[in-house]
Chain A
Amino acid sequence: MSEELNTPGYEIPPEMQGQVAITTLDKIYNWGRRSSLWPLMFGLACCGIEMICTAASRFDFARFGMEVMRPSPRQSDVMIVSGTVTKKMIPQIVRLYNQMPEPKYVVAMGACASGGGPFKEGYNVVSGVDKYIPVDVYIPGCPPTPQALLNGLIALQKKIDKQSIKEVRWYQKEPIEAIPIPVLGPDIMDPREYASIREYAQGKLESESSSAAVPAEEAA
């Protein structure tokens, strides 16, 4: 680890090696963050069970600094969306996401969270959590094995390693806007889409009434 940190490209005089470390701010910042990712304790469905197994005796993701699962979003860094996202649940998921402080990451674990999975066609199923919140890493599988989850989390660590303190969104001037919470209407509604929903429903009404009108005219 120290070797990895300690290669910024400056020569360290031999007598000081092992006592002094020269590194870049980005490296030490990212190293600290990626080595203590605290996941949100949040199991949605079957994939959640494999997540628990990953945390438990055999696979143990404490080895990667992730054993501190927090039940509160305010204390967590990464949301592992482990399971089927339903329309009834998505308002809560968006709310939890908004409550997590920056820097925050989202891992979509399994087919369901990534794109709807086996239940995609269901009337209460969201076709992937990325329809509502941004996702950093997708992990395929149904359910992904614990090894696959670990691999996904390592991919997330690599992603963190590439970030730069100059560019990360949480240090920019503009405030970060919260994602509007979807509303449970006759179907799930994104508040940003109200105008197009109305347009669609109006269009449907018109086409229905015009198609209903055709046989009436024919009869006449």
Chain B
Amino acid sequence: MSELTTIVENTLETRFPEVVVRDERKGYEGFIIQAEKLVEVVTKLRDDFGYDYLSSVTGVDYLPEGKMEVVYHLYKSTGGSALVLKAQTPREVASVPSLVPVYPGAELQEREAWDLYGIHFEGHPDLRRILMWEGFHGHPMRKDWQEAYYEEDSKPYKSRWPDGEVWRSEDKNTFHKNVDYPAGFDPETWVPDGDASLYAGLGRVVKPGNGGGLGTEQVVVNMGPQHPSTHGVFRMVVTLDGETITALKPVMGYLHRNHEKIGERNTFLQNMPFTDRLDYLSSMSNNFGYALAVEKLMGVKPPERAEYLRVIMAEFTRISNHIWAIGFLLNDLGAYFTPMLYAVEERELILDIFEAVSGSRMMCNYFRFGGVARDLPEGVYEKIRKLVYDRLPRKIDELDLYLTNNEILRSRGEGVGILTPDQAIAYSASGPLLRASGVPYDIRRADPYSIYERFDFDVAVRYHGDIYDRYMIRLDEVRQSLRILQQAVRDMPEGPIQEGKPQYQVRVPPGEAYGRVEGPKGELGYYVISNGKPNPWRYHVRAPSFVNLTPLEIMCVGNKVADSVAILGSIDIVLGETDR
């Protein structure tokens, strides 16, 4: 922990005696803050100490103690490590003040904590369920909430291992399906919420025409969840005045796969392949973040060669993700599929490398705690060399040449969907979205992890915060990634790729850890709590695609409806991660 943080921490305790106490639990860090004073303390922190960036908000259910805890990770947008704050509240009437007035970026994350944990956020402007639907029974992440296929609290299930048999969960369910209904429920009298509560927040007004002009009526338009522009099963509900957007609500959860609930039943290592499926375009960097978090708890460090392999894979992932994003952005602007085909061609070459080292094109499951799964097979090093020194730089220049001065891209991108630097920070935007708004914040530099300090590269930054800059910044970042790759390939030493023996069942000491990496889409953080058992007590993913949707509305309002498609494309989301 840096000296500066320590100073802040000492002043915190003296400024707010009794309100702020150090978290003394073994393996924990940060402060526990009295819930009633939370807003006051964080406002101070933001205004006087520069903790202006709220990265992650999440709930934790401490069932044995009968408590709920809300965990906040604050950062400075100028760099440095985290300040971890916690607010505790009784389980049965869980409620803490909302931080949306201080950090608007908390909006979606607080809704998630409400949906999954039933923690009420006092003062939240629009506290509805977000991943599940209105009317779902219970708050599923609570430790005592059991799903229809519930077997045991943690894996491996006794029925399967060591001497279990194979059976299907369907056969044990009354309906032969993954369903369960509360006692005494009567479907005939059920009135589904539909989207009533959602539409209620949008507001539709009829404006009479003045002075003989045409009167306009505001209409509500649903885009998605099945819509070619939404990059998966995302849904936007927009209110239009003519063609101009006056309000917009993102609706998600159509791909909510209960990643965290399953993750808390899994053993630590069993979660690794699940992380692949978060942002399924960049499985390697997902592995990276999770490995970092658990390694922090375990106190292990991978050997040199493994570190280099990790960086190489993560940077390849960034390149493949960014060119894919560029291809899709052009799709959204109307250059249907042709730029995409160029991007996919290069991506396939990168996937070949992933397949060679991990055995799978997309779901690599390559990282292990304290190392990586396999070394480079024969001939792959040469392939990588050719790619990073020759082929990719050439092809990126080619994309640049074809697209950057394209008339359509310029006229539809420049000045559209603007996010100012202040807004970007306040709304917890991260990754290319943040940097295109003129904030040079890159975790690889701001809070370095792995061996990124060794490499010579620039943090790409652009200043207009519009669609065009978000396109440009991806090209810049690909070039910087290539620089890192070239150095990594040149310097990679020989040696072991795993610290100690590979293990199925790792021993993770009790405590909490937050591992974060600069993923291709932004800050990807894993908040893991271990209580010394083989399974994590809490496993939370701070997904950049999810949090980056918070400023979607302010970017879209005032623009034409067709631009909302391009703005969404320029954020670059993946639904597996948004909904988890």
Contact = CB atoms under 8 A, between A and B. Distances in A.
Contacts of B213: none
Given A118-B273, A120-B178, A88 B253 contact: yes
Interface string B175-208: 1011111111111101011000000000000000
B344 A46 contact: no
A200 B257 CA distance: 26
Contacts of B254: 86, 88-89, 92
Interface string B122-144: 00000000011101110010000
Interface string A179-200: 0000111111100011011101
A97 to B, nearest CB: 11
Contacts of B151: 121
Nearest to B255: A45
- Most A CB contacts (10 A, CB to CB) among B137, B177, B188, B259 go to B177
A86 B232 CA distance: 13
Given A45-B575, A118-B277, A86 B182 contact: no
Interface in B425-470: none
- Most A CB contacts (10 A, CB to CB) among B169, B181, B261, B337 go to B181
Chain B's interface: helix, strand, loop or mixed, by majority? Answer: loop
Q: How many A residues are at the interface, by size bracket?
A: 35 or more
Q: How many B residues are at the interface, by size bracket?
A: 35 or more
Nearest to B191: A185
Contacts of A46: 277, 280, 362-363, 576
A198 B187 contact: yes
A120 B149 contact: yes
Interface string A88-119: 11001000100000000000000000001011
Interface in A8-60: 41-46, 48-50, 52-53, 56-58
Nearest to A46: B280
A57 B341 contact: yes
Nearest to B344: A56
Contacts of B233: 44-45, 89
Contacts of A43: 232
B261 A58 contact: no
Interface string A118-131: 11111111110001
A201 interface: yes
B174 interface: yes
Contact of B136 (A41, A53, A92, A186): A186
B104 interface: no
Contacts of B273: 118
B281 interface: yes
Contacts of A184: 133, 135-136, 192-193
Contact of A53 (B186, B265, B348): B348
B262 A121 contact: yes
Given A88-B256, A127-B178, A122 B262 contact: yes
Given A44-B233, A84-B255, A122-B261, A187 B179 contact: yes
A145 interface: yes
A42 B446 CA distance: 39
Contacts of B361: 50, 145
Interface in B237-283: 253-259, 261-262, 265, 273-274, 277, 280-281
A130 to B, nearest CB: 11
Contacts of B341: 56-57
Contacts of A198: 185-188
Contacts of A58: 344-345, 348
Given A123-B258, A186-B190, A187-B180, 4 more contacts: A46-B362, A56-B341, A123-B178, A194-B188
30 contacts: A41-B228, A42-B226, A45-B257, A48-B232, A52-B344, A56-B344, A57-B348, A58-B345, A83-B255, A86-B255, A88-B256, A96-B226, A116-B178, A119-B259, A120-B149, A120-B178, A122-B261, A123-B178, A124-B256, A127-B170, A145-B361, A183-B192, A185-B192, A186-B190, A187-B136, A187-B181, A196-B175, A197-B185, A200-B181, A204-B184
